[in-house]
Amino acid sequence: MSETFDLIIHGGTVFTPGGAVVTDVGVRAGKIAAFGDLKSADAAEKFDARHLTVLPGCIDEQVHFREPGPIHKEDLESGTRGAVLGGITAVFEMPNTDPATTTADAIADKIRRATGRCWTDFAFYVGASPENAEELGVLERLPGCCGIKMFMGSSTGSLLVADDANVARVLRSGSRRVTVHSEDDMRLQERLTLVRDGADVSMHPEWRDVETAVRSTQRLLRLARENHRRVHVLHVTTAEEMELLAQHKDIATVEVLPQHLTLAAPECYQKLGTLAQMNPPIREARHRDALWAAVNNGVVDCIGSDHAPHTLEEKARPYPRSPSGLTGVQTTVPLMLDHVAKGRLTLQRFVDLMSAGPARIFGIAGKGRVAFGYDADFTVVDLAARRTITNDWIASRTGWTAFDGMEVTGWPKATIIRGQVVMRDDELLQKPIGEPVRFQETL
């Protein structure tokens, strides 16, 4: 009697912990249940993956879908729809919404809003503030919470923990890794006169300069060590920070973004104007080169998108009243696969940055690798496909990408979440099936 599965993926090049092998994968009850020759096995659904590469499901640990918030901006449905079209199987949403996600009720409300509407699996950050610092140790253990997010510099929204005393209070409360936007707010305020009305957007990396980033990260690492707390430093942009972070890998993990690996100043501002405006800024090529060196020498632990949607109308406001943020959840996989095709990183490193890295940093339970008993999450890609990223392809309500017109090699062909084929060949095949991500530290 032959084995029976819910799904069999036939004939793909599967990226297992032992390396890439051509094999079939059997899925049962949402979990990976078998490898090998499964031609004689029965399945409710069979997926022909010949000539395709089957990767562990890609995880985006930094998105801003802005829900709750104004209806014309992103929400959980449109944001995660873009994610699955781009090959992403799980997302972690940031807390700088309106109102901010800083309480147990707010997390519960987010999960309620996500249920039945998210195309991907999901988790939510709790935002740190001076007002809730002592409660964070309880809040970080809530179901569906991926951890604490602390803004040391002003960005979109009102969340801010700027001074050392309050940063230390946050770090002392709880035990899970604290995720940090690291810019020195005192220096940002001092330099605000550089970007009065009428300034050009090319001044953005002058206002939020290298020293603003380095000073904050130095403070963060000192306070993290003093308070015996692990930290995860988001969207690192400077060569100087990478040198510093390399000396503190025992307590600090590091994220970089495709935007900072792909674009450079001043060209990006000349071409894109405020569409290239984000925090921390896109900097000149020497910093981009340093980020790539840090990717390839292992200092960088993961890639996130920092998907931060704003409409073209909002972006058209004169700088500095134009909002900071780029769309990105849908374009991360194609952009990084194109870097693989161009020889800037290996596919093995891509998997480490996009799947295994987030699972390791956040202690995700049952995701991040193709192995027995793990969730059957797969990002199925065609490494040879040549496609052009266009605004028309973008599912975000904003309807634009800074990479409109860019030709890439490598494209997500299917997104499979817990054994269900949610996207195939740019088409959605399911209803939203997302569930809260589980974490080892809170099981």
Return the closest-CA partner of residue 300 out of 332, 265, 258. Answer: 258
In 269-289, which positions are buried (b, 16+ CB within 10 angstroms) versus exposed (e)?
A: beebbbbbbbbbbbbeeebbe
Helix, strand or coil for residue 407? strand
Q: What is the CA radius of gyration of the chain?
A: 21
Please give the sequence-ordered ranges of beta strands (E in DSSP) within 267-372, or none if there are none. 302-303
d(CA 347, CA 369): 14
Alpha helices in 41-161 (DSSP H): 76-85, 104-114, 136-139
- Rounded Cα gap, residues 110 and 122, in angstroms: 10
Separation in Å, CA 113 to CA 61, 110, 152, 429, 440: 19, 5, 28, 21, 24
Do 433 and 440 touch, CB atoms closer than 8 A? no
Which tokens sit at 228?
Answer: 């015996």
Active site residue 306: yes
The CB density around residue 211, as the number of other CB atoms within 10 Å, is: 13
- Three-state DSSP class for 60? strand
Active-site position among 24, 306, 375, 382: 306
Measured CA to CA, the distance from residue 144 to residue 289 in angstroms comes to 36
- Which strand (E) or helix (H) includes residue 210? helix 210-226
Give catalytic residues, as residue numbers: 306
